[in-house]
A and B are shown apart, each in its own frame.
Chain A
Amino acid sequence: MEPGKDIAPNAVFELRGKEYRVAAGQTVRASLQAVDLNPELYLCVLCGELVTDDRIVEAGESYRLVAVVSGGDN
Chain B
Amino acid sequence: MRCRKCGQKAVINMRQHKLALCCEHFLQWVPEQTERFIQKYKMFARDERVLLAVSGGKDSLALWDILLRLGFAADGLYIELGIDGDMQYGQRSQACARKFADAHGAHLITVDVHRKYGATIPELAQLTRRGKDKPCSVCGVSKRYIMNYVAREGGYAVLLTGHNLDDEAAVLFQNTLHWQTGYLARQAPVLPATDAGFVRKVKPLCRFYERETAAYALLRGIDYLYAECPFSVGANTIYYKELLGRLEAERPGSKLQFYLSFLQAREDGYFAGAKDDEGLRSCERCGQPTTAPGSCAFCRMWAAVRERKRESRGGSENPVVTQACGR
Which residues in A have some Cβ–Cβ distance to B below 8 Å?
Answer: 38-43, 45, 49-55, 66, 68-74
Contacts and interface: CB of A to CB of B under 8 A. Distances in A.
Contacts of A45: 218
A38 B219 contact: no
B87 interface: no
A72 B211 contact: no
Given A43-B211, A49-B11, A72 B245 contact: no
Interface string B108-121: 00000000000000
B: contact size bracket:
35 or more
B170 to A, nearest CB: 7
B103 interface: no
Contacts of B228: 70
A59 B104 CA distance: 41
A54 B2 CA distance: 11
Given A50-B219, A68-B210, A74 B242 contact: no
Nearest to B144: A74
Given A50-B23, A52-B1, A72 B237 contact: yes
B46 to A, nearest CB: 30
Interface stretch (B134-142, B184-192, B273-281, B316-324): B134-142
B235 to A, nearest CB: 5
B201 interface: no
Contact of A70 (B13, B57, B140): B57
Contacts of A72: 136, 139-140, 229, 231-232, 235, 237-238
A52 B232 contact: no
Nearest to B138: A74
Contact of A71 (B12, B134, B237): B237
Contacts of A70: 57-59, 210, 228, 232, 238
Contacts of A49: 11
Nearest to B213: A68
Nearest to A51: B11
B133 to A, nearest CB: 11
A1 to B, nearest CB: 23
B94 to A, nearest CB: 17
A74 B57 CA distance: 16
A55 B226 CA distance: 25
